[in-house]
């Protein structure tokens, strides 16, 4: 497959790395624990459809997404496994949920009632998972502390008894499972609250097919939290939720962002670069302009920070990152010319920056770096170094 037609700025997704990560996670959690692959935010920037197809072939048990649009995209592209929406769906879309066999998280009694009524009007049955709040304080039936939150048990019982709702599962989310010893006490507190909730409901005659609390951090560091299913997110893509901690699983980053040298010029001493003239040349230089900017997902906060690599050598960022273009220093890199490949971030091999490095420079997390790669950047899928597919979102 020819790459030249898209060789402006593009993202390469290594399907072999994704497969290795999936298998490493599967081996780590054991054969008795189901694996839910979280593919929200377009598969953390990797392309939800392509990665879900791969995980489906590898034996994924479940998929999780943020919203109904993401769920429908999977269904439209042939994903048959259960798909769970983790966030809000308007109750008016109950029929759409049912027709597409999509499972909805239910996180409060009023929402459960609304969904039940909408399903009844549509004449359908909906599969739902009860979402409880054990310490995130985001969404969910309040189950952070007992006996203070005993009333929530009554509310969950009422939600589970509503017509047209099939309560297949119960779930919660950890807040600091990726923060090592600092987060251990709070994580175990959340786990105890969840276990208490499940046991209290069992005593009321309510049980669930699927029970899950473990996210990526817990998959790595809290085996006691696995229960019947774990939700693997960022680790599927070869990144750890906390790069400062040693990973318990051998992972390989799958996403490489690349661009191209669009222009090369000599810059005289005293010349300034880009908006705001934040960089001034202290000597004669050679600079290259590359067609990537914050509209492609390369943050403006990287202005005058960090580097890209050209021919395996570091080329620092000069001046402000623009919407569509960035200037880099190629003074010490021999014979740079238009069309040369530039690595924006990758897995750290051959001097390439990593998503973790860019995150550190911009005071964010690696999740945001990969998710930010915009839809106008084509995804090129590689297997054993060969292009097998190209996905455009424009």
Give the pLDDT of the chain (394 residues) as one tens digit per residue.
455 556 799 999 999 999 999 999 999 999 999 999 999 999 999 999 999 999 999 999 999 999 999 999 999 999 999 999 999 999 999 999 999 999 999 999 999 999 999 999 999 999 999 999 999 999 999 999 999 999 999 999 999 999 999 999 999 999 999 999 999 999 999 999 999 999 999 999 999 999 999 999 999 999 999 999 999 999 999 999 999 999 989 999 999 999 999 999 999 999 999 999 999 999 999 999 999 999 999 999 999 999 999 999 999 999 999 999 999 999 999 999 999 999 999 999 999 999 999 999 999 999 999 999 999 999 999 999 999 999 887 6
Helix, strand and coil percent figures for the chain, each rounded to 5: 35, 25, 40
Contacts of residue 111, defined as CB under 8 A and 6 or more positions apart, other chains included, come to 91
CATH 2.40.37.10 in the chain: give the residue spans: 255-391
Crossing angle between the packed helical segments 15-29 and 48-58, to the nearest 10 degrees: 50
End-to-end CA distance of the chain: 20
Which is catalytic among the residues 266, 269, 275, 375? Answer: 275
State the pLDDT at residue 135.
97
Structure tokens, 31: 């054969």
Residue with tokens 């919660």: 172
Task: Please tell me what DSSP assigns to residue 354.
Answer: B
Contact between 321 and 302 (Cβ < 8 Å): yes
Q: Is 0.75 topped by the overall pTM? A: yes
State the pLDDT at residue 248.
85
Determine the Cα–Cα distance for residues 233 and 216; give it in Å rounded to an integer: 6
Determine the Cα–Cα distance for residues 224 and 216; give it in Å rounded to an integer: 14
CATH 3.20.20.10 in the chain: give the residue spans: 33-236
CA Rg value for the chain: 24
How many CB atoms are located within 10 Å of the residue 133 CB? 23
Look up 55 and say whether it is catalytic. Answer: no
Determine the Cα–Cα distance for residues 105 and 210; give it in Å rounded to an integer: 12
Which is catalytic among the residues 34, 40, 131, 258? Answer: 40
State the pLDDT at residue 13.
98
Structure tokens, 55: 């995980």
Task: Give domain 255-391's CATH architecture.
Answer: Beta Barrel (2.40)
Look up 40 and say whether it is catalytic. Answer: yes
Any idea which fold 33-236 has?
Answer: TIM Barrel (3.20.20)
State the pLDDT at residue 116.
98
């Amino acid at each position: 497959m020819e790459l030249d037609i898209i060789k402006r700025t593009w993202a390469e997704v290594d399907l072999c790395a994704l497969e290795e990560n999936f298998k490493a996670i599967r081996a780590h959690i054991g054969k008795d624990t189901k694996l839910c692959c979280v593919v929200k935010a377009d598969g953390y920037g990797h392309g939800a459809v392509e990665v879900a197809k791969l995980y489906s072939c590898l034996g994924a048990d479940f998929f999780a997404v943020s919203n109904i649009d993401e769920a429908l995209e999977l269904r439209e592209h042939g994903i048959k496994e259960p798909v769970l929406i983790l966030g809000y769906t308007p109750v008016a879309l109950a029929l759409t949920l049912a027709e597409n066999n999509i499972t909805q998280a239910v996180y409060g009694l009023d929402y459960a009632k609304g969904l039940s009524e909408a399903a009844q009007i549509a004449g359908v049955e909906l599969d739902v998972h009860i979402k409880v709040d054990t310490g995130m304080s985001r969404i969910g039936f309040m189950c952070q502390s007992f006996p203070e939150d005993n009333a929530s048990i009554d509310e969950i019982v009422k939600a589970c008894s509503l017509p047209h709702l099939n309560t297949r599962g119960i779930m919660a989310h950890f807040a600091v499972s990726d923060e090592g010893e600092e987060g251990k006490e709070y994580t175990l507190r959340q786990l105890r609250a969840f276990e208490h909730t499940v046991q209290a409901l069992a005593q009321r005659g309510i049980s669930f097919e699927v029970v899950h609390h473990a996210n990526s951090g817990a998959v790595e560091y809290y085996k006691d939290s696995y229960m019947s299913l774990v939700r693997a997110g960022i680790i599927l893509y070869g990144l750890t939720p906390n790069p400062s901690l040693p990973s318990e699983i051998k992972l390989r980053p799958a996403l490489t962002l690349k661009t191209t040298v669009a222009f090369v010029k000599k810059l005289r001493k005293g010349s300034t670069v880009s908006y705001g003239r934040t960089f001034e040349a202290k000597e004669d230089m050679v600079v290259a302009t590359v067609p990537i900017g914050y509209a492609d997902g390369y943050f403006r906060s990287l202005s005058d920070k960090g580097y890209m690599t050209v021919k395996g050598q570091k080329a620092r960022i000069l001046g402000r990152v623009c919407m569509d273009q960035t200037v880099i220093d190629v003074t010490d890199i021999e014979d740079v010319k238009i069309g040369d490949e530039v690595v924006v971030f990758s897995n750290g091999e051959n001097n390439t920056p990593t998503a973790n490095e860019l995150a550190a420079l911009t005071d964010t997390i690696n999740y945001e770096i990969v998710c930010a790669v915009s839809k106008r950047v084509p995804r090129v899928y590689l297997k054993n170094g060969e292009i097998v597919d190209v996905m455009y979102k424009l």
